[in-house]
Structure formats: structure tokens, C-alpha cells
Amino acid sequence: MTHYLYLVRHGEQQDAEHGLPDGPLSPRGQRQAALVADRLSGVPLTSVWHSPLQRAAQTAEVLAERLPAVDPKPSALLFDCVPTGITPDTPSAFEPFFGSISDEQIEAGHAQMADAVAEFLARKPGEMHDVLITHNFVIAWFVREVLQTPEWRWMTLNQANCGLTVLGQKPGRPWTLLTFNDMAHLPVELRTGLPESLPF
């Protein structure tokens, strides 16, 4: 029996380019959410959890509209956050990112992700199919945790809006990264949210 964790980044936020901390989905974000819902429609989902932020909550609402059997619930453990500060082995190229991040934000983010890992990567009995609708940094931290890479490596992992990352764990085995940032369900014009454009 395998425990599957489906990590979905929220759909594109309306006016995200204007630097707003949160907001509703854009029309393109609504389409992205509908398509990832269709992608998951054949999976016997056990639970759906989402960040309380509006863009993630609305993505979960679209899933619930298209998959009536699911009942999404908010979790503060899935809030957008910065999981770490500068570590001794963090490349200097990343240092400017932390200029506007306070020590308090970093401490809170690190504690949040420790609790999130303890909650969502805990082994559960039976076949489980859990969906987490959250944010880029949170997904990157889960992947970094499963791969057991240095803490700063979350900064090198990016997921598209409504891209799909899947983790799996069989009894007696460690968690495995099954797929990362799968965008097969998204046409090219809907592949948003990455730091730079891709050639496909």
C-alpha cells in the first residue's frame, strides 16, 4: 500500500506582477486549476488540503467544483513562507533575496515547514492519495526534504502554476520523488509561474 502526496502550486494570481501579496485567480489561473482537477479526476483522492491564502483556496474550490467527492480543507502549515535564511553553504548569488526578509519571518517559516513535514510526510496506514495545494517555496521544501539535499537547495526548485509534483512512500521505504513539476495537462500558453520562459 503506497501513500501518495500530490503537490499542486496554486493557479496564476490576478495582477501578481504588481507585487500584491495575495489575490484571486486570474482567468488563466482558473483554467489551470480546472485542468489540474481533470488530471486528478481518476485518482481515488483521500484528502485535499490547501493554503488559506486566496489564490490557493480558489484553486481548491475549482477542484471541488469538478470533483464533487472532495472536500478541501485549509491548513496553516501550507501558507507561503521562506523556509530558511542564509546558511554557511548558501551560494552568494542568493544573498540579495534575503535583503527584505526579516529574521522573524525566517524563524516562523522554518518552524512551519518542520511541522508541515511532520504532519504530511508521516506514514499513514493503507493506500492514501492526499493533495496539497500550496506555494512554490513550500513544494520546494518538501522535495528538498525527500531528497535530503542541503537546506538552501529549496531556492533552486521552481514549480509552474498548477504544475504537479508527486511523492510516494511504500511501507518500510523512504519517500520517493515520483515526478516533479509535471505540466503535461497544461498547454504551453498556460505554463506560467516559472522564473524564466522554457523553450517548449
Residue 139: inside a domain, yes or no? yes
Instruction: Return d(Cα 48, Cα 59) in angstroms, integer.
Output: 11
Strand, helix or coil for residue 2: coil
pLDDT score of 100: 87
Residue 59: inside a domain, yes or no? yes
Residue carrying the nine cell digits 535583503: 99
Residue 17: name the closest of 161, 200, 181 by CA.
161
Residue 129: inside a domain, yes or no? yes
Domain carrying residue 149: 3-12+22-86+93-162
Q: Residue-wise pLDDT tens for the chain (200 aa)? A: 899 999 999 999 997 655 567 889 999 999 999 999 999 999 999 999 999 999 999 999 999 999 988 999 999 999 999 999 999 999 999 999 998 899 999 999 999 999 999 999 998 888 999 999 999 999 999 999 999 999 999 999 999 999 999 999 999 999 999 999 999 999 999 999 987 755 55
Instruction: Return d(Cα 161, Cα 192) in angstroms, integer.
Output: 6
Residue 55: inside a domain, yes or no? yes
pLDDT score of 168: 97
Scored b (16 or more CB within 10 A) or e, 100-117 reads eeeeeebeebbebbeebb
26 neighbors 10 (Cβ within 8 angstroms): no
Q: Cell numbers of 181, please?
A: 513539476
Strand, helix or coil for residue 181: strand
Cα angle at 87 between 82 and 88, to 5 degrees?
170
Q: What is the CATH number of the domain that holds 74?
A: 3.40.50.1240
Residue 116: inside a domain, yes or no? yes
Structural domains in the chain (count): 1
